[in-house]
Amino acid sequence: MFNRPMHVLVADDEEGLCFVLRNLLETLGYRVTEVADGTAALDALLSQEFDLAILDVKMPGISGVEVLREALKVKPTLIVLMITAYGSSELALESLRAGAYDYFTKPFELQEMRITIQRALEKKRMLDQIETLESQAQAERPFPEFIGVCEPMEEVFGLIRRVADNDVPVLITGESGTGKELVTRAIHYSGPRKGGPLVEINCAAIPETLLESELFGHEKGAFTGALYSHPGKFEQAQGGTILLDEIGEMPLALQAKILRTLQEREVQRVGGKSPIPVDARLITATNKNLAEEVAARRFREDLYFRINVITIELPPLRRRLADIPLLVEHFLTKYNRPLGKNIQGISPRVMDLLLQYGWPGNVRELENVIQRTIIMAVGPLIEPNDLPSHVLTRRQPSDSLPAPFERRVDLSTPMAAQIDNLIEATERRLIVEALRSCHSRQEAADQLGISRKSLHNKMQKYDMMGKE
């Protein structure tokens, strides 16, 4: 697939221009199809497979901009170059906003056109490779609930695979909203205890006076209101797994009883006289630094070493920006139907804003934001006005931004259209940095490896003119 000849559509009613472009493209080894009007161009794009389309903005029948919009709805990975007559810059800018890769004004330099075509088709090859590799990765992915392909998440997946078949205690750490419960489920359902129950308890959500009863159970009459015997979470997890979430919030007195349960593998109900054997795998989770809690004498050192046999640390969302397009696509699919909407995606500007925001609430916050924007959106795409104000105004520090295209991430990221948005957001940041560090636009263009005209076009596309 990767070595097939690239197929290019040339749509223009000027025979001379079509002749020049055909010669250029065939010299470069590309397959060429020509049409002379917008209607024929759209028919060809919808019925055949093309990697690149070169469209005149003004053609008989449907305009080039309209052809662009309609074609991208069906073929979102299509790369489109627009050609416009001198003085039609507004139409050209409109095409960039609609998703065109670049535009040229007649008459254009053939050498510059050649370079742009080669770069555009190289981008198309990359998107095709990503799509193929992602299909392979989806078939091999063992944890379908997880959305993520960045290197830190691959390390998490590797640890899950290694610990799933063992009964050793696992401590999951990470900020709130990073998905600690998902790790627990992945470990449980990938291991030999998957046929048993998975019991979860949030130690921070239950009052201290009730937590002991919830964990270990109680006998009838053990305290006021105990009208019947009740098995605790450890008993309920017999043959399966128990998750003690937010264990860093557990009172010291209960920590001692948890330690005894782990050592003796038995519990004693509140008000009970005989110990009850338990057979459950223990997984704990916290958003606190337990080593610091031990140093401050708020957490027992012996319990810390008992539960910290294997540690799985989940990265915050701000350290896995390349996963944001995947997560957005996942949440759009998840909430569109329940909310009675059919949102097709998000605009490049929205993707740029999502990548710049700091996400203190991590994946949980992103899910809430996408759910809100689906409700607020009035068009087929989520636009900046649909975002909550705090996402528009708050940014993460520049030194916390990871490299947006780690090699392993590029080769596994799904949803080509969403990746295109990520590429554009990265392109925008590169242009900003080049303009900041250079004394002129020409110097910035040289540093970026593009022509001055291409830099000018991209600055117009991203509304950066006059803001250097």
- Lowest model confidence (mean pLDDT) among 24-38, 50-64, 120-134, 147-161: 120-134
Distance, CA of 318 to CA of 263 (rounded, Å): 39
DSSP labels, 11-69: E-S-HHHHHHHHHHHHHTT-EEEEESSHHHHHHHHHHS--SEEEEESS-SSS-HHHHHH
Tokens of 13: 């009613």
Kind plus residue range of the DSSP H or E element containing 369: helix 362-376
Q: How many CA atoms lie within 13 Å of 133's alpha carbon, on the beta-carbon side?
A: 15
DSSP labels, 71-115: HHHH-TT-EEEEEE-TT-HHHHHHHHHTT-SEEEESS--HHHHHH
Mean local confidence (pLDDT), 239-246: 94
**Cα-based distances in Å from 205 to 125, 210, 244, 250:** 51, 10, 11, 10
Q: Indicate the burial class of 52 (C-beta count within 10 angstroms; 0-12, 13-18, 19 or more).
A: buried
Query: Which pLDDT score, from 0 to 100, does residue 409 have?
Result: 38
Write the pLDDT tens digit of every residue in 184-227. 999 998 889 988 999 999 999 888 888 989 999 988 888 887 77
Which of the residue ranges 52-66, 68-82, 383-397, 435-449 has the most confident prediction, judged by mean pLDDT? 52-66
Q: What is the pTM of this model?
A: 0.56
**Cα-based distances in Å from 155 to 159, 191, 250, 289, 298:** 6, 18, 29, 20, 30
Write the pLDDT tens digit of every residue in 394-452. 655 433 444 333 333 343 444 555 556 666 777 777 788 778 777 778 878 777 777 77
Q: Which residue in 331, 284, 346, 326 sits closest to 309, CA to CA?
A: 284
Distance, CA of 280 to CA of 265 (rounded, Å): 9
- Lowest model confidence (mean pLDDT) among 77-81, 86-90, 263-267, 345-349: 86-90
Report the chain's mean pLDDT, rounded to a whole number.
84
Do residues 38 and 24 make contact, with C-beta atoms less than 8 angstroms apart?
no
Tokens of 378: 């009035």
Query: Which pLDDT score, from 0 to 100, does residue 411 have?
Result: 39
Pairing outcome for strands 79-84 and 31-35: unpaired
Q: Which residue in 401, 402, 382, 395 sits closest to 331, CA to CA?
A: 382
DSSP labels, 139-168: HH-S-TT----SHHHHHHHHHHHHHHTS--
Distance, CA of 439 to CA of 436 (rounded, Å): 8
Q: Which residue in 393, 404, 409, 416 sits closest to 321, CA to CA?
A: 404
Distance, CA of 200 to CA of 234 (rounded, Å): 10
Kind plus residue range of the DSSP H or E element containing 212: helix 208-216
Query: Cα 327 to the chain's mean position, in Å?
Result: 4
Q: What percent of the chain clears pLDDT 90, i.e. is strictly above it?
A: 37
SS3 201: strand
User: Domains in the chain and their CATH numbers?
Assistant: 7-138 (3.40.50.2300), 151-314 (3.40.50.300), 318-437 (1.10.8.60)
Query: Which pLDDT score, from 0 to 100, does residue 413 have?
Result: 43
